[in-house]
Amino acid sequence: MKTIAATFLLILFASCHNNSSTSQTKQEITNAIVKELATIEAQSPDSILLETSLKVLEAIKKEDYEKLTFYIHPTKGIRFSPYAYVDTTEDVVIKQTSFTTSFSDNYFWGSYDGSGESINLTTKDYFKQFVYNADFLHAEKVGINKMIGVGNSLNNLTEVYPNSVYTEHHFSGFNPAYEGMDWTSLRLVYEKLDGELFLVGIIHDQWTI
């Protein structure tokens, strides 16, 4: 941020100094700098959040789970929610230290929407069905601290993660015959620790009964 600001200042002052026809006063130049820096400051957190999510999605897509581990919260671990509702009693939480060794382990992840049958999957299979079930790295729409997909499931993200920031990566549907009922979203939820963003939740969402 400081580097960007300093570079901007140098370019702006150099431009004004070299342009003999400029009618800008020093106050106008100062106002322009303040306005631009305020814009940079306002956009920076969102940019960092989006950049982090794209790196996370890239690691997931490539199945580079060693790399993904570095983004998991070191003390809280990461909670997986197969649908919009975050169940703090049943959703699986995997610690950072055991994440890479969990992929052959079988867990109870909750219940399938509609049938109510238990979701019993290895972590690897869960990722295929309830994490990267679409190419979210190249999502149709991306929301930054903003919900896009809305279904029948209660969405309690902000209640469970009150101090979080998140991105939502969304596809509105794939088969026109389903008229949007095959939409899907992935929400990546982060909390800050020592100034850095760490994953505390991955929430999969889709059309539900």
Q: Quick one: 161 and 80 in the same domain? A: yes
Q: Encode pLDDT of 112-124 as tens digits.
A: 998 999 999 999 9
Domain of 151 in residue numbering reads as 49-206
Same domain for 74 and 91, yes or no, is yes
| pLDDT value at 17 more than 90 | no
Output the pTM of the full model. 0.79
What are the φ and ψ backbone dihedral angles of 80, each rounded to 5 degrees? Answer: -110, 125
Are 70 and 129 within one domain?
Answer: yes
pLDDT in tens, 156-202: 999 999 999 999 999 999 999 999 999 999 999 999 999 999 999 99
Residue 22 has pLDDT above 60, yes or no: no
In a shared domain, residues 70 and 159: yes
34 and 104 belong to one structural domain: no
Mean pLDDT (the chain, rounded): 87
| 78 backbone dihedrals φ, ψ, rounded to 5° | -135, 130
In order of 22, 24, 113, 181, the CA distances from 142 in angstroms are 41, 39, 25, 19
Q: What is the share, in percent, of the chain residues with pLDDT greater than 70?
A: 81
**Residues 101 and 24 both lie in one domain:** no
Q: How far apart are CA 193 and CA 163, in angstroms?
A: 11
Handedness of CA 128, 130, 135, 138 (dihedral sign): negative
Number of domains in the chain: 2
